[in-house]
């Protein structure tokens, strides 16, 4: 259909629910063997554990909520280039178990790999979601709303067209991967929002000030919950290929800046030729987000990474 209309305000800006009594953003970090998830059901206990570290899925999902999952299927390449289908399936089941009344998936792949339907078919996502009775929104085939980002305080991106479907859901869950990006330095939960943009807008988006524009997107849409799959990662190039490492981690949180800073530090722990050779808070995506008032107000002191007791 691809009909368009203007929206007077943001599409989805939830409050921060994953914070400690001191107001620090909580990020759960849990070891998870890279091989886990190759069969249905294996990931479930790990996802429950990483969420329990920060308060559980119930902080983000109330009984009866309509929940939209935004995974990373930028291309049909295997994880970590794109999401592991079993990771998406496990997250969908987790949300159902938490009481969600409806769980759906929504995606628009990278333009070089369009149409999105072909990407989702090749990766097996469409068949897997159909088997679970989980609806899939292919944003390329649906309607759009234009959000005036300049009016919301954006510094580099004046407006953005986002899927109308996002506004139909009570909760939004992001499932980023852990990887570098040849243009944006890294692509995690902040950059995942680019997959919500109208495909026609993405080439000019990438043409200049990409990292700063990525931060601007968070003024229009932010997730309630982030579950980052860090079992595998790229530490060079990206997003579709790169040097593969195996951190064997899951991260969970509700704040994009906090999760991305924590994830970037995982990438920085590997010696590799990339552009992450600076303090995580100085990276343009993070720095621009902080300048917009996003992330913890106290900076690094405002994040508490929670791990399993030794």
Residue of 231, 253, 238, 157 whose CA lies nearest to 196:
157
Q: What is the pLDDT of residues 72-103, one digit of tens each?
A: 999 999 999 999 999 999 999 999 999 999 99
> pTM to 2 decimals?
0.97
pLDDT tens track for 264-281: 999 999 999 999 999 999
Mean local confidence (pLDDT), 179-187:
98
Which has the higher per-residue pLDDT, 37 or 171? Answer: 171
Q: How far apart are CA 85 and CA 37, in angstroms?
A: 9
Crossing angle for the helix pair 85-97 and 44-52, to the nearest 10 degrees: 60
- Provide the domain count of the chain: 1
Residue 3 pLDDT? 67
Give CA separation, 29 vs 47, 52, 249, 262, 294, in Å. 10, 11, 7, 9, 21
HSE, CB side, 13 Å, CA atoms: give it for residue 66. Answer: 8
We report the CATH number of the domain holding residue 121 as: 3.40.50.11440
From the number of C-beta atoms within 10 Å of its C-beta (0-12, 13-18, 19+), residue 47 rates as buried
Does residue 183 register a pLDDT over 80? yes
Give the pLDDT band of residue 14 (cuts 50, 70, 90): very high
- Whether the pLDDT of residue 40 is over 90: the answer is no
Range of the domain at 230: 4-307
């Amino acid at each position: 259909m691809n009909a368009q209309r203007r929206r007077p305000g943001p599409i989805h800006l939830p409050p921060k629910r994953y914070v400690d009594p001191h107001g620090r953003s909580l990020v759960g970090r849990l070891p998870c063997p890279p091989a886990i998830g190759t069969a249905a059901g294996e990931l479930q206990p790990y996802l429950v554990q990483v969420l329990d570290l920060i308060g559980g899925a119930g902080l983000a999902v109330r009984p009866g909520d309509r929940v939209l999952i935004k995974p990373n299927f930028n291309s049909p390449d295997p994880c970590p280039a794109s999401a592991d289908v079993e990771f998406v399936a496990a997250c969908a089941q987790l949300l159902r178990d938490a009481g969600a009344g409806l769980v759906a998936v929504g995606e628009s792949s990278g333009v070089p790999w369009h149409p999105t339907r072909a990407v989702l078919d090749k990766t097996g996502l469409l068949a897997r979601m159909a088997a679970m009775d989980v609806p899939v929104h292919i944003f390329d085939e649906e309607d759009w709303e234009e959000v005036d980002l300049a009016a919301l305080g954006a510094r580099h991106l004046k407006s953005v067209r986002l899927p109308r479907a996002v506004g139909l859901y009570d909760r939004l869950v992001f499932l980023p991967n852990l990887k570098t990006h040849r243009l944006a330095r890294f692509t995690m939960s902040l950059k995942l929002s680019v997959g919500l943009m109208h495909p026609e807008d993405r080439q000019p988006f990438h043409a200049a000030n990409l990292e700063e524009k990525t931060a601007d997107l968070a003024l229009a849409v932010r997730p309630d919950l982030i579950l980052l799959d860090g079992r595998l990662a790229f530490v060079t190039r990206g997003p579709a290929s790169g040097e593969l490492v195996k951190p064997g981690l899951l991260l969970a949180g509700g704040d994009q800046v906090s999760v991305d800073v924590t994830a970037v530090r995982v990438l920085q722990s590997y010696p590799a030729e990339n552009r992450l050779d600076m303090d995580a808070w100085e990276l343009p995506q993070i720095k621009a987000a902080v300048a917009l008032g996003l992330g913890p107000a106290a900076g690094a002191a405002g994040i508490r990474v929670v791990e399993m007791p030794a």
